[in-house]
Structure 1
Amino acid sequence: MNIKRFYAVFKARNIEFFRDRSSLGWNLIFPVLLLIGFSVIFSGDGRPAYKVGIINSVTEGKAQAESAQDSFKNIRFIDYINYDTVELANKKLSHHTIDLVIDVSTSQYWINNESSKSYLVEKIFNLPLKDYTRLETVGKKIRYIDWVLPGILGMNMMFSCLFGVGYVIVRYRKNAVLKRLKATPLSAFEFVSAQLVSRLFIVLFISTVVYTGCNFLFDFLMLGSYFDLIVIGMLGAFCLISLGLLVASRSKSEELIGGLLNLTSWPMMMLSGVWFSLEGAPSALKTVADFLPLTHLVAGARQIITEGATLGDISYHITSLLVMSAIFLSLGAYFFSWNTER
C-alpha cells in the first residue's frame, strides 16, 4: 500500500462527487423528502390490526401458548407474536409496538396504560383472560417517523453505496480509465481501497448532514449512543460498498450493471424491515432477510435509537456485517478486472 497513490485516488473521487451538484443535491434532498412524506402520511394511528405477544419461554409454555392461541383464534384482526422472554415482550409493549402481552405459563397478562389500543385489546379479550392476573406497564409511544428513520437512512446508504460504486467503476472501465490506471504504479488493491474509503466518507457525511438537519424539524427519538449508531452505520456502509464492488468487479456494460444493482437492491428494500416490521412474518421470509446486509444495518440502528441498545446488545448484527464484508471484499478483489469486456 502506497499512501500517496491511495490518497490521490481518494481525493480525486471525492472531488468528482462533490463537484457533481445534481448528484450531491439528490443525495441530500431525497431522504428528507421521504421523511417529510411519511411524517404526513403516518401522522395518526393508522394500523387496523392489533398485535398480541405470547410468551413461550419453556417447552410447556409453548404447548400452552399454542392452546391459548387456539382459544383466541375466533377473534379476528389479531396478530399473535411469540416472544421468548417477558422482558423483551414488555419492552415492545412499553414502546407501543404491540398492544398486549400474555404469559400463559403463569396466567398473567400485561397492558400499557398509556396506549388506547392496549385498553381496547384488553376489552376484546375480557372473557378469555378472566382467570389471568392483570399487570401494567407504561412507556412513551414511538412515532412512526422515529421507527422508520433507520430504514430510510439505511436505504439511502444502500443506494449510494451500490450505485455510487458500481456505476463509477463500470464507467471507468468502459471509458478505459481503468486500463490507463493499470499502466501506472497504482495497484488494484490501492484503487479498490481508495474507492471504498472515499465512498464510505461520502455516505457517512451525507447521512450525518441529513440526520442533523431533519432532527431540527422532527426532534427524533434517541435512546442509545450516537457513537454506537456511527459504528453500526460505518459497518453497514462498508458491507454495502463491498457488495457494490463485487457486483461491479467485471462488468463493462452500464445496462447490465444497472440490472444487477437493481436485482441486488430491491430485495433488500422490501425484505430488510425498511418500511414495516418483520415480527410475525413467516420464518422462511425471516431466514432470507437474515442474509441481507441492509437487514442487520437497519435492525441494529433501530435497536440503538428506539431501545437504547449497546454494541454488545447488537453483537449478532455486527458479526453478520463483518462476515458479509469479508466475503464480499474477498470475492470482489478476486474477480476484479481492469479491462474485462463483459
Structure 2
Amino acid sequence: MNFNRFFAVFKARNIEFFRDKSALGWNLFFPVLLLVGFSFIFSGDGRPAYKIGLLSQQDQSQSSAQTILTQLRFIDFIDYKDVDLAKAKLSRHSLDLLVDYSTQRYWVNEESSKSYLVEKIFLGQQLSQQPGFTRLESSGESIRYVDWVLPGILGMNMMFSCLFGVGYVIVRYRKNSVLKRLKATPLSAFEFVSAQLLSRLFIVMFMSTVVYSGCNLFFDFFMLGSYIDLFIIGALGAFCLISLGLLVASRSKSEELIGGLLNLTSWPMMMLSGVWFSLEGAPDGLKVLANFMPLTHMVAGARAVITEGASLNDISFHISMLMLMSSVFLLLGAYLFSWNTER
C-alpha cells in the first residue's frame, strides 16, 4: 500500500465534501432540525403509553372517580358520543380500553396486550373509588396487532423504495452527465420523468405484491375488503410518493445533499403517518400536518380496506388527496427539472 496515494485520495475526498456547501450545511443542520421537530411534537410528558376512550352524554358531568382517573399521567383520554364507533376503534387497536361511567361498563380487546395492562391499571384505580363495573369484550371479529400494523409496514417499505429508488438514480444520472447527454436527444423532461415514474411504480407494486402474498401464507392476514381496492390505493400511494421523490431530486446534483433531503421527506412521514401507532387523540395541529403527507392517506386508506372492509367510495377522501398531491408533485417536478445544473 502506497501511503502517498492513499493520503492523496483521502485528502481529495475530504476537500470535495467540504467544498460542497449545500451537503456540508445539510449535514450540520439536519440533526438540529430533527431535534427541534421531535422536541416540539413530543413535548411535555412524552407520548401517552395508553389510550382510554370515555363514553359521555351531552351535558354529563364527570364523577369523582372519573376525575381521579383522568388525572393519571401517560394515558390519553378521548371522549366519544357514539358507542359503536368507540367499540370499533377498540377492536382496531386505536384504543386500549373503553369506559362508560354512566352505566358502569368497560370494554377490552382480548387480542391487545396494551388492553390487558391498562385494564389492570383501571381496575386498581376504581376498586377504591367506584367498584362494580361490568367487564365486556369488544364486539366484532378480533384484529391482531400484526393485521393493524401491516399497512404501515408495507407503506413504509414502499415509501423508502419510491423516494430513494428514484432520488438517488436521478442525482447519479445528473452527476455522471447521463442527463446532459439525454438533453441532446429529442427526449423532453416530462417524458423522462414520466418514464422514471412508471418504471419505479411497476417495480414497487410488483415487489410489494410478492412480499404481501408470501407473508400471507405464514400469517394469514385479516382481510375484510377487496384485494383490488387494496391494490388501487397502494398504487395511488406509490405513484404519489414517486412523484414526490422526482420533485425532491429535480435539481440536486450532490448525492450527500439528496440523501439529507430524502431523509427530511421520509422521517416525518414515518413518525406521523400512523405507521406504528394510531393518531387517535393526537393534537389537531398534528393531524392537519399529517394530512399533507402522502403516506398518511395511503396507510389510512389501506387500513380501512383491510380492517373495516371499506370500498373505494368510503376512502374517496384519501384517494382524492393522493391524486391531487400526485398532480402537484409531478407538474412541479417536470417544471423544475434540470438536466445538468445544481440550482
Q: Which range, TM-score by smaller chain? A: 0.7 to 0.9
Where in structure 2 are the equivalents of 1:230-241 lying within 5 Å? 230-241=231-242
Where in structure 2 are the equivalents of 1:72-111 lying within 5 Å? 72-74=69-71, 78-83=75-80, 85-95=82-92, 97-102=94-99, 107=103, 109-111=105-107
Where in structure 2 are the equivalents of 1:194-213 lying within 5 Å? 194-213=195-214
Q: Determine whether 1:263 maps to 2:264.
A: yes
Say whether the 8 Å CA contact 1:99–1:121 is kept in structure 2: no
Q: Determine whether 1:185 maps to 2:182.
A: no
Instruction: Give the Cα–Cα distance (whole angstroms) in 1 for the partners of residues 145 and 134 of structure 2.
Output: 31
Q: Which runs of 5+ in 2 are unaligned?
A: 1-47
Aligned twin of 1:216: 217
Secondary structure of the residue aligned to 1:156 is helix
Where in structure 2 are the equivalents of 1:306-321 lying within 5 Å? 306-321=307-322
Q: In the TM superposition, what is the alpha-carbon distance from 1:244 to its structure 2 partner?
A: 0.4
Say whether the 8 Å CA contact 1:53–1:81 is kept in structure 2: yes
Change (3 A) 1:96 1:141: farther
Post-superposition CA distance 1:202-231 (Å, at most 9, x none): 110010010011111111111211111111
Aligned twin of 1:336: 337
Instruction: Give the Cα–Cα distance (whole angstroms) in 1 for the partners of residues 65 and 290 of structure 2.
Output: 29
Say whether the 8 Å CA contact 1:100–1:109 is kept in structure 2: no
Aligned twin of 2:154: 153
Secondary structure of the residue aligned to 1:279 is coil
**Which of 1 and 2 has greater Rg?**
2
Question: Which stretch shows the higher mean deviation, 74-83 or 169-178?
Answer: 74-83
Say whether the 8 Å CA contact 1:111–1:137 is kept in structure 2: yes
Instruction: Give the Cα–Cα distance (whole angstroms) in 2 for the partners of residues 163 and 181 of structure 1.
Output: 22
Change (3 A) 1:134 1:326: same
Aligned twin of 1:247: 248
Say whether the 8 Å CA contact 2:148–2:307 is kept in structure 1: yes
Q: Determine whether 1:54 maps to 2:50.
A: no
Where in structure 2 are the equivalents of 1:26-175 lying within 5 Å? 50-55=50-55, 60=59, 64=61, 70-74=67-71, 78-83=75-80, 85-95=82-92, 97-102=94-99, 107=103, 109-112=105-108, 114=110, 117=116, 120=120, 123-124=123-124, 125=126, 137-175=138-176
Aligned twin of 2:17: none
Say whether the 8 Å CA contact 2:99–2:107 is kept in structure 1: no
Aligned twin of 1:25: none
Instruction: Give the Cα–Cα distance (whole angstroms) in 2 for the partners of residues 136 and 282 of structure 1.
Output: 28
What amino acid is the match of 2:90? L
Q: In the TM superposition, what is the alpha-carbon distance from 1:98 to its structure 2 partner?
A: 2.8
Say whether the 8 Å CA contact 1:114–1:138 is kept in structure 2: no
Secondary structure of the residue aligned to 1:141 is coil
Q: In the TM superposition, what is the alpha-carbon distance from 1:96 to its structure 2 partner?
A: 5.2
Q: Which runs of 5+ in 1 are unaligned?
A: 1-47
Say whether the 8 Å CA contact 2:91–2:140 is kept in structure 1: yes
Q: In the TM superposition, what is the alpha-carbon distance from 1:74 to its structure 2 partner?
A: 4.5
What amino acid is the match of 1:168? V
What amino acid is the match of 1:200? L
Secondary structure of the residue aligned to 2:54 is strand
Secondary structure of the residue aligned to 2:98 is strand
Q: In the TM superposition, what is the alpha-carbon distance from 1:277 to its structure 2 partner?
A: 1.7
Say whether the 8 Å CA contact 2:55–2:79 is kept in structure 1: yes
Instruction: Give the Cα–Cα distance (whole angstroms) in 2 for the partners of residues 162 and 107 of structure 1.
Output: 51
